[in-house]
Amino acid sequence: MSFARAITNVMRPQASASRAFSTSSARLDMSRIQLIGRLVADPEVRTTRAGKDYIRYAVATTDPLGPPAEDGERPPPTTSFHNIFAFGEGPVSRLTNIKKGTLVYVEADFKVQRNPTESADGIASTNILVQHRSMNVISRPKTPEA
């Protein structure tokens, strides 16, 4: 197939009534997150009910500052904590060597789960499940000199 014909096939709208709100197929949809932050603690190995190991780690990020208040002062910076899960033998063996305080760049997929039923305190809950795709170490924490 020629390049021009391949481009024409990609650019042609799909005649599918199954997704009337979108021209893209479901397999092209994604929810991905990119984080740059520091590890809150050493990654920990856990085991699923099926007996498979996985890694759970948390990354702290600084939230963007909001607009100044009416008096011109900016609010103090806030921090968000992101819990991330990594499955498979490769991530489990590689991520156990990374230590608390390491500055990392993480790419992950996420899924939002809403629980419409109210909890004991009367608030509906929302969970964001974040599954690790890749991590790059930007810098390691400084070690105290003895």
The answer to whether the pTM exceeds 0.75 is no
Please give the pLDDT value at position 36. Answer: 94
- Domain 29-139: CATH architecture, name and number where available: Beta Barrel (2.40)
Domain boundaries, the chain: 29-139
Q: What is the pLDDT of residues 12-24, one digit of tens each?
A: 444 444 455 556 5
Q: What is the pLDDT of residues 92-114, one digit of tens each?
A: 888 888 999 999 999 988 888 88
Mean pLDDT for the chain overall:
79
The radius of gyration of the chain's CA atoms, rounded to the nearest angstrom, is 21
Tokens standing for 4? 């021009």
Percent of the chain with pLDDT over 90: 28
